[in-house]
């Protein structure tokens, strides 16, 4: 299997990472070498094997839905790259 | 006198503070002074020196000697969120991120009297085996100039080996504690999945990530581990089991222990010294009354390809949160989508982008079954291999890495060759098992090499004991010359 330039661009769109043509070519080369290494898994017959999704194969414990944190709105907003009063600011999304 | 303090190991320092032979302030200042003289190693991303000295003085005014880390200064990997101390995960995208909360593991250290003196360099989002993917630059291995300290906990291994901190903590997703420990002649433990809380650790691959201690010897490692490992309701995969006093229970008696030697770990092209070291380990176990049993882990060769599907898949999902909106770096964009794409393109480094894209691809429509589901099935086979082996043995002995530390830049342009470095460590994360790397000797170049002891799930005590016995008989000496201090 080979990953062509069009596929690389498609994956970059899905990943929300913009890349230029030069980077895409280089990345395509890397991905092809990594995937040819990954193809090795096809040697194994796994028809009757159950997938292992997590090592902790128990039902995850739930805890009560309680508010525990103190009022830290100010501190949280301090980390924001763009804010207006108590809001995060993003580029305009509705016309 | 000052220089002697930093030569002491963690347990020795605790002892001296408890006996009032040393104060927390003296110890804290000693490690900070040495750290200041060691900037060339680039082990630190953020320093917390002033604050740490203040804390040490407060401790000395009203010392509580019942604590397990009474006023002990500790630098930690910059993947642990520390309240009010910048936490970057080695990434530009988190360059100015200041957490509003404390990770459970660092909280445990603080609760026992530990004092955080700084945040240590690491590969970006812990993705790397050489610390070369960090936005904050390469880290020097104190063993020799221009040598990588391993990764991803490379700042941790470097700072520890250089004695800038008496002990440290790292995280291990595919070998990120054990490989850097092996490269720097130090001890590193990756605990069983579910043993140490993942709460507040910047997530990479959630089904594989585990925090663990990195120390000068097995005693120190046992102490750190018993502090770090707690049941935590803030981590839904934290396991509620009876934790031991690992240090009190530490002993070198391995009589009757059955140790497995997996034949699949004898890989082609492995340096002769590593094979000899492994033989040395086997001999020590036999001489101490342990029993050596040849075992087979037939799916070992499939572990790396499995890992390079599972880990990027989980990473692509975990790293979706970095969108430049609520925290972190943001680029200007013409619209919202453009802003996301530019932010992520400029905020992430090449290796992280590569892995996000691999992960996105293997999870995308039409490829999910062929890659992701296939990898999860093979992961089951790999775990089954260990389950089978543990019907016959108590623990498994292997080398930690297939080579010693390499030069900075040597493997940067060949991702697959870089990935092969983790061949002996990755299977253990896939199976969720505990494993410890201890220094066991040097290669021709004089670089350290490690042996790995792998245990049954939640049986850290056995591998600590086996490592303790090996350590006593090996008597490894790290020949570090302080070349970076003018």
A19 touches chain B (CB under 8 A): yes
**CA–CA gap between residue A80 and residue B147 (Å, rounded):** 38
Distance between CA atoms of residues B213 and B224, nearest Å: 6
pLDDT surpassing 80 at residue B293 = yes
Which residue of A lies nearest to B414 if distances are taken between CA atoms?
A30
Nearest CB partner across the interface for B380, out of A16, A33, A50: A50
Active site residue B176: yes
Contact: B371, A17; criterion CB under 8 Å? no
Beta-sheet strand order (sheet of B395-399):
B168-172, B210-215, B187-190, B435-442, B448-455, B395-399, B258-262, B291-295
- pTM, whole model, 2 decimals? 0.97
Establish if A52 touches chain B: CB-CB under 8 angstroms.
Answer: yes
Over residues B7-13, mean pLDDT = 98
Average pLDDT over residues B166-175: 98
**A32 vs chain B: nearest CA distance in angstroms?**
10
C-alpha–C-alpha distance, residues B215 and B220, integer Å: 6
Predicted pLDDT at B271: 85
pLDDT category, A64, cuts 50, 70, 90? confident
H-helix segments, B348-437? 350-363, 374-389, 415-419, 426-431
Beta strand ranges found along B78-201 (DSSP E): 115-120, 168-172, 187-190
Q: Which residue of A has its CA nearest to B314?
A: A53
Instruction: Tell me whether residues A92 and B335 touch, CB distance under 8 A.
Output: yes
Residue of B nearest to A62 (CA): B236
Annotated active-site residue B197? The verdict is: no
Read off the pLDDT band of A61 (50, 70, 90). confident
Residue positions counted in chain B: 486
Q: Is A64 on the interface with B (CB under 8 A)?
A: no
CA–CA separation, B55 and B71 (whole Å): 8
A94 touches B at CB < 8 Å: no
pLDDT classification of B62: cutoffs 50, 70, 90: very high
For chain A, the structural domain boundaries read 5-43
The answer to whether residues B381 and A44 touch, using CB atoms and an 8 Å cutoff, is yes
- Lowest-pLDDT range of B74-78, B183-187, B267-271, B405-409: B267-271
State what percent of residues in chain B have pLDDT above 70. 99
| List B77, B257, B411, B456, catalytic entry | B77
Summary mean pLDDT of chain B: 96
Check A80 against B326: CB less than 8 A apart: yes
- Phi-psi category of residue B89: left, alpha or beta, with phi > 0 → left and psi -120 to 50 → alpha: left
Question: How confident is residue A1, by pLDDT bands cut at 50, 70 and 90?
Answer: low
Indicate the pLDDT class of residue B1, thresholds 50, 70 and 90: very low
Whether the bond into B109 is cis, omega within 30 of 0: no
User: How far B300 CA sits from the closest chain A CA (Å)?
Assistant: 12
Residues B111 and B197 sit within 8 Å (Cβ to Cβ) = no
d(CA B232, CA B111) in angstroms, rounded, equals: 15
Other residues' Cβ atoms within 10 Å of the Cβ of residue B155: 34
Give the dihedral of Cα atoms B133, B139, B142, B143; nearest 10 deg: 30
* pLDDT of the residue at A70: 77
pLDDT for res A12? 97
Whole-angstrom distance, CA of residue B116 vs CA of residue B49: 9
Is the torsion defined by CA of B196, B199, B200, B203 positive or negative?
Answer: positive
Respond yes or no on whether ipTM tops 0.90: yes
Distance between CA atoms of B445 and B417, rounded to whole angstroms?
21
Based on the number of CB atoms within 10 Å of its own CB, is B347 exposed (0-12), middle (13-18) or buried (19 or more)? buried
Partners of A3 on chain B (C-beta within 8 Å) are: 361
Question: How many other CB atoms are found less than 10 A from the CB of residue B289?
Answer: 12
Identified catalytic residue from B152, B157, B182, B404: B152
In A, which residues are within 8 Å of B345 by CB distance? Answer: 17-19
CB atoms within 10 A of CB B124: 29
pLDDT band at B222 (very low <50, low <70, confident <90, very high): very high
SS3 assignment, position B271: coil
When pLDDT is averaged across residues A15-43 and rounded to a whole number, the result is 93
Best of A34, A57, A84, A87 to mutate (most B CBs within 10 Å, chain B): A34
Q: Contact, B424 vs B452, CB < 8 A?
A: yes
pLDDT band (50, 70, 90) for residue A2 = confident
pLDDT of res. A57: 64
pLDDT at B213 over 60: yes
- DSSP code of residue B444: T
> How far is CA B112 from its chain centroid?
21
The whole-angstrom separation of Cα B226 and Cα B461 is 10
- Residue carrying structure tokens 């982008």: B353
Q: Is B404 a catalytic residue?
A: no
8 Å CB contact between B103 and B148: no
Percent of chain B clearing pLDDT 90 (strictly above): 94
């Amino acid at each position: 299997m080979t990953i062509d330039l069009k596929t690389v661009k498609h994956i970059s769109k899905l990943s929300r990472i913009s890349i230029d043509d030069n980077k895409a070519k280089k990345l395509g080369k890397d991905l092809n070498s990594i995937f040819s290494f990954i193809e090795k898994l096809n040697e194994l017959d796994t028809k009757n094997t159950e997938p292992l999704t997590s090592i902790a194969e128990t039902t995850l414990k739930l805890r009560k839905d309680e508010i525990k944190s103190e009022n830290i709105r100010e501190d949280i907003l301090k980390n924001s790259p763009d804010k207006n009063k108590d809001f995060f600011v993003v580029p305009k999304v509705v016309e | 006198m000052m220089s002697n303090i930093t030569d002491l190991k963690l347990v020795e320092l605790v002892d001296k503070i408890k006996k009032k032979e040393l104060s927390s302030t003296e110890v804290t200042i000693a490690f900070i002074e040495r750290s200041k003289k060691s900037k060339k190693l680039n082990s630190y991303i953020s320093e917390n020196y002033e604050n740490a000295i203040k804390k040490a003085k407060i401790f000395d005014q009203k010392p509580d000697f019942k604590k397990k880390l009474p006023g002990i200064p500790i630098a930690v990997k910059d993947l642990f969120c520390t309240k009010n101390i910048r936490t970057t995960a080695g990434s530009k995208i988190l360059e100015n991120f200041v957490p509003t909360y404390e990770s459970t593991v660092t909280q445990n250290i603080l609760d026992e009297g530990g004092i955080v003196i700084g945040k240590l360099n690491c590969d970006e989002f812990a993705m790397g085996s050489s610390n070369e993917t960090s936005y904050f630059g390469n880290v020097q291995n104190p063993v020799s100039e221009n040598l990588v300290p391993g990764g991803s906990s490379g700042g941790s291994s470097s700072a520890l080996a250089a004695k800038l901190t008496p002990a440290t903590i790292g995280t291990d997703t595919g070998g990120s504690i054990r490989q850097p420990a092996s490269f720097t002649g130090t001890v590193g433990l990756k605990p069983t999945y579910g043993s140490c809380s993942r709460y507040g650790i910047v997530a990479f691959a959630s089904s594989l990530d585990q925090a663990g201690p990195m120390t000068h010897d097995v005693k120190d490692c046992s102490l750190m581990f018993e502090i770090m490992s707690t049941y935590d309701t803030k981590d839904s995969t934290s396991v509620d089991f009876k934790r031991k006093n690992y240090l009190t229970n530490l002993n070198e008696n391995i009589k009757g222990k059955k140790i497995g030697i997996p034949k699949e770990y004898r890989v082609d092209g492995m340096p002769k010294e590593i094979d000899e070291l492994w033989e040395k380990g086997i001999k020590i176990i036999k001489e101490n009354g342990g029993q050596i049993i040849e075992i087979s882990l037939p799916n070992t060769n499939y572990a790396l390809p499995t890992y390079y599907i599972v880990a990027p898949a989980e990473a692509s999902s975990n790293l979706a949160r970095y969108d430049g909106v609520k925290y972190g770096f943001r680029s200007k964009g013409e619209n919202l989508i453009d802003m996301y794409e530019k932010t992520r393109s400029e905020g992430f480094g090449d290796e992280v982008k590569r892995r996000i894209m691999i992960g996105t691809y293997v999870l995308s429509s039409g490829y999910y079954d062929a890659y992701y589901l296939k990898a999860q099935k093979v992961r089951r086979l790999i775990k089954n291999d260990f389950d089978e082996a543990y019907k016959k043995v108590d623990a498994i002995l292997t080398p930690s890495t297939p080579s010693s530390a390499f030069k900075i830049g040597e493997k940067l342009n060949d991702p697959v060759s870089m990935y092969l470095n983790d061949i002996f460590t990755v299977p253990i994360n896939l199976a969720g098992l505990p494993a410890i790397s201890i220094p066991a000797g040097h290669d021709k170049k004089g670089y350290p090499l490690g042996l790995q002891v792998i245990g049954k799930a939640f049986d850290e005590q056995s591998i600590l004991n086996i490592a303790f016995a090996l350590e006593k008989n090996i008597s490894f000496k790290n020949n570090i010359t302080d070349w970076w201090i003018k």
